[in-house]
Amino acid sequence: MTTDLAATIGIDAPTGLLIDGQWSPGRAGVLPVIDPATEDPIAEVANATPEDALDAVDAAAAALPKWAATAPRERAECLRRAWELMVARAEPLARLMVLENGKALKDARGEIMYAAEFFRWYAEEAVRIDGGLSVAPSGANRIMVQRQPVGVSVLITPWNFPAAMATRKIGPALAAGCTVVLKPAKETPLSALAVAGLLAEAGVPAGVVNVLPTTKPGPMTEAMLADPRVRKLSFTGSTEVGRMLLKTAAETVTNCSMELGGNAPFLVFEDADIDAAVDGAFLAKMRNGGEACTAANRFYVHDAVADQFSAKLAGRLAALRVGPGLDDGIDLGPLVNSDTRSKVAELVDSATADGAKVLTGGQAPDRAGFFYPPTVLDQVPAGAGILGQEIFGPVAPIVRFTDRQQAITLANATEYGLVSYLYSRDLRKALQVAEALEAGMVGINRGVVSDPAAPFGGVKQSGLGREGGHDGLLEFTETKYIAVDW
């Protein structure tokens, strides 16, 4: 069965490959897009091969000199128009995203506004690409530093934020003067194709943005990275795939930015405002139904306040309405696919076998769709397996601690280092703990850190480089030093 998309969402959604400004069929036929709430196909999208990818690299390479030489103000205005169009079409774009990803409509609406903001922010950054000029210590010459676009960039994005992960890369790439080939996740190609359609409408020339959904990302990416015209890989996804891509990119010494997995700790100290901590925990856990790299994955709560915190958090999660994301009043949609749900269910079962107490949820419902209920697990032992990997679902495991150093040691006991959260009324203590946490980002008395104006990214095996802010622009530039004697 194929749902009539235009009728459900109110706009036409492109389903072809976008190469050199043309919507084309894929050499590998089509791939189905599944609605996670019903398990039914909703659309068929062109499926690209390595040959299609090399056509896209040809187009991006041909468009590069002109786009790189386009006045920054003109590049900025294309991005600004894309922001305006995206905000004007927020509702149909959000509905399209719900259909392919499953998330609740309120999360999808939030994501579209967040995604659009990367176009506005990078429209503003495009005209602020600075350099430097100084006198060499010897006095013999001047040191002139200039930023140039890195070149043709391959962008690979995951399914969990189908629009924002694309705009967070396309925005800075275009602002810097680069041309791109975007490979979205096969589960959620429709949002990425719709965003590319908006960019064309906003005046971005043919070949500057190319988009290729595929069921065979490995061979396609290898073919593109082997091409010496490709100078940049910007990847968001799992640490496992990121590691493989770094090896492939090493062959051609391609410049890489990596936004990888997380295993965020959420620390609640005995002096925290518990109601605020519950609000923050709710956001950090339940934003995007728990399918976020920034999702709080391990709650470390001081023994003195743990009963109160657990009971309140369980009450909040138990009250959520679960169902198809487009239905009225739904707070939590299904997970993206069957494998994701099985993994979440297995982690919960392993935690209860390890001694955790289920306060709410804990059992997948017997219905169509990849649903899993909001779940709170209390008194999880510090060594439980569930704490060692990304849950990527609506499950909150709570571990109790008794002293500050123990909490920091537990929080840092992971190869990941994307984000950490902490709640305390003592700002001095909070800042000291924030400095000791091994993470690229720390939320103090806040459950959300993502902001297009801030440098987003991780340390350890959570990634390399930053997206957002001014740093995100610099990832798509090369530094050129010119020694001048005048």
Give least dist CB 245 to ligand NAD, A: 6
C-alpha to C-alpha distance for 396 and 376, rounded to whole angstroms: 5
Neighbour count for residue 136 (Cβ, 10 Å): 12
Contact 97, 163 (CB under 8 A): yes
Q: Select 293 or 330, whichever has its Cβ closest to ligand NAD.
A: 293
- Single out the catalytic residue among 111, 117, 125, 259: 259
C-alpha to C-alpha distance for 93 and 88, rounded to whole angstroms: 10
Q: Select 129 or 154, whichever has its Cβ closest to ligand NAD.
A: 154
Give least dist CB 481 to ligand NAD, A: 31
Neighbour count for residue 292 (Cβ, 10 Å): 23
Return the closest-CA partner of residue 464 out of 233, 263, 145, 182. 233
Q: Select 272 or 387, whichever has its Cβ closest to ligand NAD.
A: 387
Tell me, yes or no, if 293 is annotated catalytic. yes
Q: Which pair of tokens denotes residue 162?
A: 């189908």
Q: Which pair of tokens denotes residue 463?
A: 């990634």
Q: Select 26 or 217, whichever has its Cβ closest to ligand NAD.
A: 217
Total number of residues shown for the chain: 486
Written as one letter, the residue type at 472 is G
Q: Shortest Cβ contact with ligand NAD: which residue?
A: 237
Give least dist CB 184 to ligand NAD, A: 6
Instruction: Give the DSSP per-residue string, 269-318.
Output: -TTS-HHHHHHHHHHHHHGGGG-STTSEEEEEEEHHHHHHHHHHHHHHHH
Tell me, yes or no, if 259 is annotated catalytic. yes
Q: Select 244 or 368, whichever has its Cβ closest to ligand NAD.
A: 244
Q: Which pair of tokens denotes residue 199?
A: 């960019």
Give least dist CB 6 to ligand NAD, A: 26
Residues that bind ligand NAD (CB under 6 A): 156-161, 165, 183, 185-186, 217-218, 221, 236-238, 241, 244-245, 259-262, 293, 390, 418, 458, 463
Contact 204, 63 (CB under 8 A): no
- Single out the catalytic residue among 187, 293, 390, 438: 293
Supply the residues annotated as catalytic: 259, 293
